[in-house]
Amino acid sequence: MNFDLRLPIGILFTLFGLILVGFGIFTKGSEISLGHNINISWGIVLLVFGAFMLLLAKRGKNL
Amino acid sequence: MIAVPTISILAADVAGSAPEINLHPIDYSILGIYILVVIGIGFVLKKYMKSSSDFFLSGKSIPVWVTGLAFLSANLGAQEVIGMAASGAKYGIMTSHFYWVGAIPAMIFLAIFMMPFYYGSRARSVPEYLKLRFDEKTRGLNAISFAVMTVASSGASLHALASLLHLLLKWDYNVSLAVSSLVVLAYVLKGGLTSAIYTEVLQFFLIVLGFAPLVILGLEDLGGWSGMMSHLKPEFAHSWKYMGTTANPMGVEWFGMVFGLGFVLSFGYWCTDFLVVQRAMAAKNMGDARRTPIIGAIPKMLFPIIVIVPGMIALVLAAKAGSNYSIPLGVTGATDYNLVIPSLIAHYLPTGMLGLALTALMASFMSGMAGNVTAFNTVWTYDIYQSYIGRGKSDSHYMWMGKASTVAGILISFAFAYMAKNVNNIMDFLQLVFGFVNAPVFATFLLGMFWKRATGHGAFFGLLLGTFAAIVFHGISYPEPLEVGAKIIGSKGGWLGIHYQFTSAMAQNFWLAIVAWTFCFVLTIAISLATSRTKTDGELVGLVYSLTDKIQEESEPLWKRPSVVGSVVLLVAIVLNIIFW
């Protein structure tokens, strides 16, 4: 089967990361997590994870 | 199904103090993207579904990292996420027994000793292995009981999801039921088992990345790990130390825990339940099939951090002055521990992260349902339809039947969900019945794989009598000390007169399993010795340990040998038990 699951995983989490970081920047300083802008910090985690999966998919080798 | 703590989020809970969550369009967009991606995966996979083997078995072509994570995720449904957090709040670190005692040893045993027979025999399902090893009637008994259990579990998952969405978001129960069913139907119908496996892996990452912030924020709020542990009662901070004392919150003693949970129930679930074994059977080759449970066991060992620690955080946070947090109450006014995870999500996560966590929660429900439906359509088509109703049809006909039974499985799940909603305690009753049926099963497989003298009659009647022993034991035992003159509630037991009183329902369940397994084991041996063999040694090659060539691992590097890696994983599980003793 020539379908690499890392591609949709990478796309999904990169999208989630972009949405969270974007929304986090848009709501910076808002009164809406112990004072942390967790949308930005966790959004970056998701972006890194998503990019890592996309990179693995691009390499095309199985883990 | 293993006797994990059950969840019963009933519509009546609306009257309790459940947290109300308001979603922002950003939260909906995260949920919407997830649904589009899983349906998209189904549509992309459609072109690969050319034969019934592709649809039911993924063409035995799935990479091992995917089957390994799916093996773990197939068990990572709502019961795990919500039920284990509830147990974390009720029993503390003792809940880890469901992982380090009640899962890891069984997963390693399956990988090293049992997968060679499941995969090597070319059986397409676990019931089919029973047919090859024993006879048709033993397969039929296992297949029919498994098929009923999977659609009932799928219905329970559906009901719990719709109830939770109604409770937290005020979504209409019927709409939630219909939308989640249609999403699951869309991707399973197109991509078969492969769709279910791929979305299970997506769900694994979603749960880890969606719930980890809860643990991080909760621990920071309580002053770190040591801050949380210092505020827990001692018996909540140790897994074994208080096992033999009256302070033991689980009410289960050593033998019941080790033999009941650690052997009978966990081996019965992880080593014989087709829902999880099917993931390993989808691997590319024997080596990958054996590595699948071991790859699943590694994150499984660490999963208490994601699912149990939130319960412990909730317990300490609720007692912390000025925290503005309490574990919600149910309709009876008692604490509803099943709402620990939703209430922590509402307490800590702002818009955006809220959408991610709720998407992870919904994914776990839908994925659990998809896993059950794909196991059901395989067993229905191969073990029931092809064996008893439509023999000798074309491959394309069986593939069509697989798709038809997928639709039927969803519709029956729907019916079970409405039964759960409208008939009081129906799911508790069904779980009780499933417990009777499941308890003795591992004895049959153990004797089948490791004793060539076991016969079909021995297996069939041993299973039936083991189930009968479970029913009788339920009738003569009671899950709590009873005062003289107190009313006996029949659904709890004691309907044949109370001869054994336990300190908890969990202890009664574990001992019921021990009794059923022992009866099945002894009676299968006795009946086998009294009946003649119907299978020759030649017919049992590849099905029984003593008649099958041992797999040589010496040519593999150390890190790829199941026996080596499995031993290391088992050792780490033992070390974790010692650390949290």
Mean pLDDT of B340-358: 93
Return the closest-CA partner of residue B339 out of B1, B27, B13. Answer: B13
Do both B530 and B556 map to the same domain?
no
Do both B558 and B458 map to the same domain?
no
| Residue B98 within a domain | yes
Do both B342 and B312 map to the same domain?
yes
For residue B9, is pLDDT > 60?
Answer: no
For residue B568, is pLDDT > 70?
Answer: yes
Contact residues on chain A for B217, CB-CB shorter than 8 A? 33-34, 36, 38
Greater model confidence, B308 or B50? B308
Do both B220 and B313 map to the same domain?
yes
Do both B514 and B573 map to the same domain?
no
Question: How confident is residue B122, by pLDDT bands cut at 50, 70 and 90?
Answer: low
| Cross-strand pairs, B66 | none
Per the CB < 8 Å rule, is B65 touching A12? Answer: no
B539 DSSP 8-state letter: G
B385-392 long-range contacts, Cβ below 8 Å, gap at least 24? B387/B131, B387/B136, B387/B139, B387/B140, B387/B143, B388/B140
B36 touching A (Cβ < 8 Å): no
Do both B322 and B438 map to the same domain?
no
Q: Would you give the end-to-end CA distance of chain B in angstroms?
A: 27
| Cross-strand pairs, B500 | B477
Domain enclosing residue A54, as ranges: 6-59
Cα distance from A9 to chain B (closest Cα, Å)? Answer: 6
Domain tally, chain A = 1
Do both B63 and B212 map to the same domain?
yes
Domain tally, chain B = 2
Can you say how many angstroms the Cα of residue B493 is from the centroid of all Cα atoms in its chain? Answer: 24
Tokens of B534: 């119907």
Chains A, B: CB pairs < 8 Å: 82
Distance CA B183, CA B552 (A): 44
* Max mean pLDDT range (A1-15, B214-228, B362-376, B427-441): B214-228
Question: How confident is residue B424, by pLDDT bands cut at 50, 70 and 90?
Answer: low
Which residues have C-beta within 8 Å of that of residue B405, sequence separation ≥ 6? Answer: B376, B377, B380, B381, B385
Which run of H or of E encompasses B472?
Answer: helix B456-476
| Residue A45 within a domain | yes
pLDDT score, position B465: 95
Listed by number, the residues of chain B in 39-58 with a beta carbon closer than 8 Å to a beta carbon of chain A are: 40-41, 44-45, 48, 58
| Residue A53 within a domain | yes
| Residue B50 within a domain | yes
pLDDT, tens digit, 9 for 90 and up, residues B141-191: 999 999 998 889 899 888 888 988 888 888 899 999 899 898 999 989 889
| Residue B506 within a domain | yes
CATH number at residue B284: 1.20.1730.10
> What is the four-CA torsion angle of B270, B437, B146, B505, rounded to 10 degrees?
-60
Distance CA B348, CA B326 (A): 13
pLDDT score, position B79: 61
pLDDT, tens digit, 9 for 90 and up, residues B53-77: 999 989 888 999 999 999 989 877 7
pLDDT, tens digit, 9 for 90 and up, residues B253-305: 879 999 999 999 999 999 999 989 999 999 989 999 999 999 999 999 998 99
pLDDT, tens digit, 9 for 90 and up, residues B508-535: 989 999 999 999 999 999 999 999 988 8
Do both B568 and B534 map to the same domain?
no
| Residue A1 within a domain | no
Per the CB < 8 Å rule, is A11 touching B37? Answer: yes
Domain enclosing residue B476, as ranges: 427-548
| Residue A17 within a domain | yes
- Cβ atoms within 10 Å, residue B497: 9
Greater model confidence, B366 or B95? B95
Per the CB < 8 Å rule, is B353 touching A20? Answer: yes
Which residues have C-beta within 8 Å of that of residue B400, sequence separation ≥ 6? Answer: none
Mean pLDDT of B444-468: 94
- Cβ atoms within 10 Å, residue B326: 15
DSSP letter for each residue of B334-364: SB-GGGHHHHHHHHHPPTTHHHHHHHHHHHH
Do both B224 and B325 map to the same domain?
yes
Do both B504 and B527 map to the same domain?
yes
Do both B444 and B342 map to the same domain?
no
Tokens of B224: 């770190």
What is the percent of chain B with per-residue pLDDT over 70, rounded to a whole number?
Answer: 96
Q: Would you give the end-to-end CA distance of chain A in angstroms?
A: 16
B18 DSSP 8-state letter: P
Question: How confident is residue B17, by pLDDT bands cut at 50, 70 and 90?
Answer: low
Do both B508 and B534 map to the same domain?
yes
Contact residues on chain B for A43, CB-CB shorter than 8 A? 352
Average pLDDT, chain B: 89
Question: How confident is residue B503, by pLDDT bands cut at 50, 70 and 90?
Answer: confident
- Residue B478, SS3? strand
For residue A63, is pLDDT > 60?
Answer: no
pLDDT score, position B24: 86
Residue of B nearest to A46 (CA): B209
The answer to whether the beta carbons of residues B441 and B272 sit under 8 Å apart is yes
pLDDT, tens digit, 9 for 90 and up, residues A17-49: 999 999 999 898 887 898 989 999 999 999 999
Distance CA B469, CA B516 (A): 5
Distance CA B380, CA B378 (A): 5
For residue B365, is pLDDT > 90?
Answer: no
Distance CA B531, CA B180 (A): 50
B83 DSSP 8-state letter: I
| Residue B510 within a domain | yes
> What is the four-CA torsion angle of B238, B243, B246, B247, rounded to 10 degrees?
10
